[in-house]
Structure 1
């Protein structure tokens, strides 16, 4: 499908238009000079304003600036607002100034970035092995945002000099990479690198240069690509949003087999790893396919960045070869996860959307929070209009039922969608043509709908030609022709992909949820603290969630108003409403299901056993998981990761260290989750440099939980924990550490 550019589409009202306006206000509140500060600093130039806090000052300086280039480009295309283009031009002026000051073509906000990348060329494998260590965090992931933003400034906003800047940046890397052998290059790719294969493929299309296409292939990461080429899902235990951008690059590859690998990835994630809202992952990682219990139990549910990139992957695949399920997924993700991930009033963005019943989301604040999901969020909310219309097999396609107007001179005029969908299932497509015109109109039929009801043209009923996922009307159209139909939103239930006894309820594509308490919403609006994107408030017991019988959704749900239902449960009727509209409150999307509610509640009480420990936890690190480690200032250059499916641990013969939050110095005990090794191991535990425990472990494979009393150590607001081997022995595998009251 060829989607119409955002410059040709205007949203005429409704939730998507509101989201664009809210995003516009958030983006306008950001100071370009503060976003540019890391770029100018790295170029040796004085910044015009201090940089922003949060991730922008903690190793990811510049990543938001790259997203900002993309957001300005897409918002300008979606709205035509002149000040957005002026900001974009200013950003490009300053980036070009920084690039000229460096003199090599490099421009970026990565701390000591030029030296970090150059070391890979001059030192090879040792530098690749150390790539991304603090304070650099994930250098390529960061720099990818600059590449991507510059390409959007050219391709979306049409500013020619953006292509010159990004081409010079690419040339800088091509020169370094010429001295990097394949082993070192592939080793470097073990650290998250965004969609560098995608940006070099995009650049190759624009420049026609073979060296850009060859670099896209080098960035393909064989460790991920090869299983996909074999049709295998080897994603369990991997950091989800590290992998999804790679698949976007695979989808636009000129190689048929690599594009097929992208399709394998998409089907795997959408069909087997995604929740009702279209989101995936727990604590940013793909968990086991046959066990979605972490999705129900954890406070760190689907990450918004994942869905942002899954939508980009969906679009790339649809542009090559459309399948009906591409638009079904896009509709699900946009109406549920994306819309819900922006606060409708202050515009704050959501990082994690917990699927745990009766938990809540946290929102960013404009001057303090610069998480990855803020950067992708300011792009995401700008791009709704791009999905509405397209051209497929020569037909003008209506893809989403959204109030919008398309300027389509190639079809003889303008096309307007009038609808109150999803609250109202009636849709009208009005053809404001300049003269009679013959063409095919393709109306999408969603997978959740049995068909389009009451289809008519100017009041005259007709059937049209049914094809997979659509109805096509091919005729000569008169100016002002009005095509009307209904898309009834039948209630339905969806199980978790693993078949476990949890159900979500939907009306058409709209996920329904129950709004519950507004109590205990700790940290509802984030600040510049490293962990403020996590909803750290109390986890409420699963045993307190009402239980639903195993009956059909039409038997359990009673409609009380448009998109408002009463759900029958063992605790009485519960009111359901669209999930995307619930903010500043706890909510429940998934409901426990059982024929025997007493037995089911006993099972839930067993799941609640961990709540006492969670309530006593001041801070926690899961080792071998990227974000928890980086959030806690992890150090461990001579350590390695031990994986067992979706469970990870770290071990070292030297030392690993993390910083733990210790509010009011209340920590009294460290609880270490360990896995023994096939060889005897040793573990020394130091807190703020003081030895608090030394343990010896015999060979074995058992899981061990070790509690260490702090005594007089670790009384500050933060503590530095160091775990080391001794006597020539490595540590056991260290899965996690909790600091307990």
Structure 2
């Protein structure tokens, strides 16, 4: 499968075209001088304007600019408008100036980045491990955004100098890496390094340089790659968006690594993804045999994950297409991608699967989360999926309103569709003269067939193959193909088979709109945790219970359905999730069975703790630790499956949030030990306390009034066993 370049496709009236325009406005509203300030600063030059705040001035400085370059390139290609290209060229001017000022090829906004990466030249394993320490916030992940932005500026927007800048930056790293042995390099990879293997593989294809291809292979993290090569799923407990870009790189490198990428894709799509196509809870892969965290937690699938899963899907499709890959891409695009941008602007980080919860949206100029960066790109790239080629056939992949200039085929196509309101799809051909070629119409896995297939109004047939119907003829100006796609309602359980189900109409995930109370932080501020929908969780004990399947369901409008409930007896009104905003919602419903109501009520026992919590810090998890300024060098991460914590072997510091000074209790959760443990705890305004934990104890609470803790120090005691600290909660 090959996809048409973005400039050959134009989205027409429909939800994706509207989302594209919103994205364009959002991207152009950003101040390029502020986004580029970290690059000038790190080059020793005076920035034209101050940096943005939020993630852009707290250690991940410059990461958004790489996404912004990519978004500008894709938006220019997707819309044909000049302003994104002009902004891109102006940005390249400044980046070029910064790179030349340094003179080594280095180009980045990472604070102290040149010296940090330079320390790896002869620093051995200790220096390699330090680059992933809490002193620095994922510097490789950050630098990858710069690489990718330059690559997209060249490949998508045709900017030749961007390739020169990217290769100079790539050569800078080759020089440093030449002094690193394999053990040090592997130790360095035990952090989030984005898609650096993909970047070097792409540069190798663009330049023909074998040293770039070798570096792409060297960026293969063996701890992840080796289990995949053996067909094993070793992802539980791992930070999801650290791993997915690695698999994208495996696919880009190809060879035996393609098999590893394919194994990763199958594992995540079939065992670890929910109905919208997203995955992970609190950014981590949980046990695929237990989706309880997915239902209970407020931090559901992360948008960045789906962005990267779509990149992986595209790489695999281009190498060895299978029908289920387009099925996944369609699901992710129609449900997760489209829902992850507010119609008025603003991008979503977490999409909770907890019944009756909600999601929050970034505010322009304030929020610079990772999912703001990937969101800019995702919304601009939907059109790339609609058409393609497979062999000598022109393929219609998605039933989304769009136009295609298929120059190699000598025709233009116009695709008209209004799913799910109308199940008829029409493809119109225009061109100067009849052109013979096969037209490949995708048959979605959820449909299994295309109904009422017609060519120029007459009943037609085509050659049937897995996932497609192909019509071969000489196509002339005005020819029209039409067909219906059966949008049957169906229910789908969670991947672990537990008693929760979602509803779909064709590829569209359906949800019930709930009340709109307590939508705390719906439009996020610039706080470090503003991306989390922190408003109160609603109880599960009174969520309607539904019968298994869809018996008794009915369609109530062009894009609305009604399904029956079992307890209490009644009905639920459903609509496509992607269009549901500014409200609480429910996607997954508990399935009826013996004692089901009592189970739900029992699960609500932990709500009292959530409602009393002012701030919570989960140790051993990347983002919560970063958001709480955790410094824990010397206290290694403990993990067991998807459980995490830190061995308290040296001083751990952390900052908790309590702007109203309402904290009254500190709750510590530890790993139960066979022996008693202890440590000391201190914070400003309070004398150092000794915390003693009995053998087998897992929770201890301390009265902290009136001096609520902010900057905490947890210190091991000489000669006394110290615990594994799993969680801190500041309670009212």
Q: TM-score, normalised by structure 1?
A: 0.97
**More off after superposition, 219-228 vs 571-580:** 571-580
Equivalent residues in 2 for 1:207-218, closer than 5 Å: 207-218=207-218
Instruction: Give the whole-Å Cα distance in 1 for the aligned partners of 2:673 and 2:162.
Output: 53
2:685/2:707 contact within 8 Å kept: no
Please tell me whether residue 724 in structure 1 is matched to residue 698 in structure 2.
no
Q: Deviations over 1:132-181 (max 9, x none)?
A: 33452000000000000000000010100000001010111111111111
Partner of 2:243: 243
Is this contact kept in 2: 1:556–1:567, CA < 8 A?
yes
Give 1:308's aligned residue.
Answer: 307
Task: Give 2:703's aligned residue.
Answer: 709
Shift in Å at residue 677 of structure 1?
Answer: 4.6
Instruction: Give the corresponding residue for 2:258.
Output: 259
| Alignment map for 1:490-509 (pairs within 5 Å) | 490-509=488-507
CA distance in 1, matches of 2:348, 2:697: 35
Give the aligned partner of residue 372 of structure 1. Answer: 370
What is the match of residue 100 of structure 2? 100
Partner of 2:287: 288
Cα separation, 2, equivalents of 1:623 and 1:129? 19
Q: Is the 8 A contact 1:692 1:708 kept in 2?
A: no
| Alpha-carbon contact 1:693-1:708 (below 8 Å) kept | no
Q: Which residue of 2 aligns with 1:393?
A: 391
State the superposition RMSD in angstroms: 1.3
Partner Cα distance (1:611, 1:641) in 2: 28
Residue in 2 that maps onto 1:161: 161
**Is the Cα contact below 8 Å between 1:59 and 1:135 reproduced in 2?**
no
Q: Does 1:733 align with 2:724?
A: yes
Give how far 1:691 is off: 4.3
Partners of 2:590 and 2:488 in 1: CA distance: 21
Match of 2:603 among 597, 603, 607: 607
Query: Is 2:407 the counterpart of 1:416?
Result: no
**Conserved in 1, the CA contact under 8 Å of 2:663 and 2:705?**
no
- How far 1:122 sits from its partner (Å)? 3.0
**CA distance, structure 2, for counterparts of residue 408 and residue 102 of structure 1:** 44
Q: SS at 2:120's partner residue?
A: helix
Q: Determine if the alignment matches structure 1 residue 675 to structure 2 residue 671.
A: yes
Q: Is the 8 A contact 1:237 1:647 kept in 2?
A: yes
Contact 1:688 1:714 in 2 (8 A): no
| Unmatched 5+ stretches in structure 2 | none
Q: Secondary structure at the match of 1:200?
A: helix
Give yes or no for the alignment of 1:656 onto 2:652.
Answer: yes
Q: What displacement does 1:595 show? A: 3.5
CA shift for structure 1 position 679: 6.8
Deviation at 1:208, TM superposition (A): 1.1
Alpha-carbon shift at residue 185 of structure 1 (Å) = 1.0
- The residue that corresponds to 1:510 in the other structure is 508
> Following superposition, which runs of at least 4 residues in structure 1 exceed 6 angstroms of deviation?
none
Q: Residues 440-451 of structure 1 correspond to what in structure 2 (within 5 A)? A: 440-451=438-449
List per-residue Cα deviations over 1:236-257 (Å, max 9, x = no partner): 00000000000000011132x2
Name the structure 1 match of 2:627.
631
Mean Cα deviation higher: 687-696 or 650-659: 687-696
C-alpha separation in 2, matches of 1:448 and 1:703: 50
**Quick one: distance in 2 between partners of 1:635 and 1:691?**
21
Whether the 8 Å contact between 1:59 and 1:110 is mirrored in structure 2 is yes
**Deviation larger for 349-358 or 79-88:** 79-88
User: What residue in structure 1 maps to residue 128 of structure 2?
Assistant: 128
**Which residue matches 2:587?**
589
Q: CA deviation at 1:731?
A: 2.4
Aligned length: 730
Q: CA separation in 2, counterparts of 1:208 and 1:680?
A: 61
User: 1:548 is matched with which residue?
Assistant: 546
| Structure 1 residue 713 displacement after superposition | 3.0
Aligned mates of 2:705, 2:528 — CA distance in 1: 27
Asked if 2 retains the 8 angstrom alpha-carbon contact of 1:220 and 1:246, the reply is: yes
- 1:60-101 per-residue CA deviation (whole Å, 9 max, x = no partner) reads 111000000000000000011111111000111100100011
The CA deviation string for residues 303-355 of structure 1, in whole angstroms up to 9 with x for no partner, is: 0000000000000000001100110000000000000000012x100000000
SS at match of 1:537: coil
Deviates more, 1:566-575 or 1:377-386: 566-575
Equivalent-residue separation in structure 1 for 2:605 and 2:228 (angstroms):
38
Q: Give SS of 1:489's match.
A: coil
Secondary structure in structure 1 of the residue aligned to 2:104:
coil
For the 8 Å contact 1:654–1:730, the answer to whether it is kept is no
Confirm whether residue 525 of structure 1 aligns to residue 523 of structure 2.
yes
Counterpart of 2:121 in 1: which secondary structure? helix
Quote the Cα distance in structure 1 between the aligned partners of 2:22 and 2:693: 56
Q: Distance in 2 between matches of 1:467 and 1:679?
A: 64
Change (3 A) 1:678 1:114: farther
Structure 1 residue runs without a partner (length 5+): none
